[in-house]
Copies of this chain bind each other. A is one copy, B any other.
């Protein structure tokens, strides 16, 4: 079962979620089951029914992780006007469209209307905070709190300060995300894609290359990953894996003996592109493998499996 020891640290605080789409609604669900009040601010005329449907869909997984999920409805409200929404905010989690000018204007509005103590976080995966804060008076307040999809389920939050971020704000961000059950990690430099998405891009390029080359089919590539690397990396990261792969001599022994062939392998990694032939090949193989399954059915199985992995690992990490 998920560790919920700090469930009450932020209970009763108010989190304002800017943008109630897939990411925003997922954050909202997580904040709600942790006892926060949540205000969703989104101009969509149908935002209430859409967001409530997404939050309702997230609750079974959160309950499976050990959350009680009471008072969810009572603590959720909506306010279309961003300035009005943030007046009583303790935390602002921005999940608006990935348009830099839009975000710049948004933060000017939010800074003017929100309390001085409010924590200001952007969920952006592609626009660093230092590109978003240009119209803010106090640029030391803004940083990235980038979740991994779906945010209510995946433990990781990449906390990415800018060179101007007040270290005390960074510390509060890490404490907040850990308080709502996340594994929050401070990324020390603003770099495009941060860490998780760069690693994902690296493996995806080789994946597309191997399928385009006809070495394996798309479904075989997926099966290779789920039956080997995925299991390994759910339990130990790349460095610990090779530290253990080196035997009692550890990573140093590994690099001494397998470093040169590894460097050679790096030179021979494939290049890929989404040219028309590759896109057609992927579409064809995808239709063969997943064509008859709906997005919702596949997502449900994935979520169930992710909960099973997270809960399975939690049993090992906290031996009775």
Contact = CB atoms under 8 A, between A and B. Distances in A.
Interface in A94-117: none
Contacts of A245: 149
A131 interface: no
A297 to B, nearest CB: 11
A1 interface: no
A221 B235 contact: no
Interface stretch (A25-33, A81-89, A151-159, A164-172): A151-159
Interface in A269-295: 269-274, 279, 282-283, 286, 290, 295
Contacts of A185: 216, 220, 223-224, 227
Please classify how large the interface on chain A is, using the bins under 10, 10 to 19, 20 to 34, 35 or more: 35 or more
A200 to B, nearest CB: 6
B240 A235 contact: no
Nearest to A219: B239
Contact of A298 (B195, B240, B286, B302): B240
B235 A202 contact: no
A235 B274 contact: no
A24 to B, nearest CB: 15
Interface of A: 22, 126, 148-149, 154-156, 158, 183, 185-189, 191-193, 195-207, 210-211, 213-216, 218-240, 242-245, 247-248, 250-252, 255, 259, 261-263, 265-266, 268-274, 279, 282-283, 286, 290, 295-296, 298-299, 301-302, 304-306, 308-313, 315-317
